[in-house]
Amino acid sequence: MVKVVAKNFIKEDKVDEFIALAAKLVQETVQNDAGCIHYGLYQDLSNPQVLTIIEEWENREALNQHMAAKHFQEASARFKDFVENPGEINLYQKLA
Amino acid sequence: MVKVVAKNFIKEDKVDEFIALAAKLVQETVQNDAGCIHYGLYQDLSNPQVLTIIEEWENREALNQHMAAKHFQEASARFKDFVENPGEINLYQKLA
């Protein structure tokens, strides 16, 4: 299993547009991508510009295939215009 | 629902001790704390000093009660000695 936390810092005037696009990506991923255990969009309760995708994949290969998929490539190309600061992405193994 | 991502940067020589203590906290939390949907310990695949607890709670009150519990208070007091840099904690609502 691979857990992914992809934290994005979005420009204030782009938050709504980012949410719409990311929600579409969530739907397309859950419907189409093999090996997806969980894929969700989350908003920080104290800072609405922090928008994070938290994911769970059966293995690294499934994650790689998702990142190569057309819907992911198109969405991430558009995300670049919405970002205020560089994001953080962490890939994790579960220990406990 | 409240999702929590608590990211810790642990001193290299304290990683094993942190993992043992955090795994115990996971077990105590899952067994005892009302409103806990998920509580897990994760290690970054490219940097073993990044150790993150990812949580899901039924509501904010359940999270507050967990943070007031003896097992959480004792563990977090000890975690302070293991930390290399200040950690990050984010509380999230789910959007999609």
Please report the sign of the dihedral spanned by the C-alpha atoms of residue A75, residue A80, residue A82, residue A83: positive
- The two tokens of residue A8 are 């994005």
* pLDDT < 50 positions in chain B: none
d(CA B83, CA B90): 18
**Residue A16 Cα, gap to closest chain B Cα (Å):** 11
Neighbours of B79 (CB within 10 A): 19
* ipTM of predicted complex: 0.95
Interface test with A, best of B2, B92, B93, B94 (most A CBs within 10 A): B92
Report all structural domains of chain B as residue ranges with CATH numbers, in order of start.
2-92 (3.30.70.100)
- Within chain B, residue ranges assigned H as helices are 15-32, 60-68, 70-79
Secondary structure element (H or E) that encloses residue B14, with its range: none
What local confidence, expressed as pLDDT, does residue A52 receive? 98
pLDDT at position B25 is 98
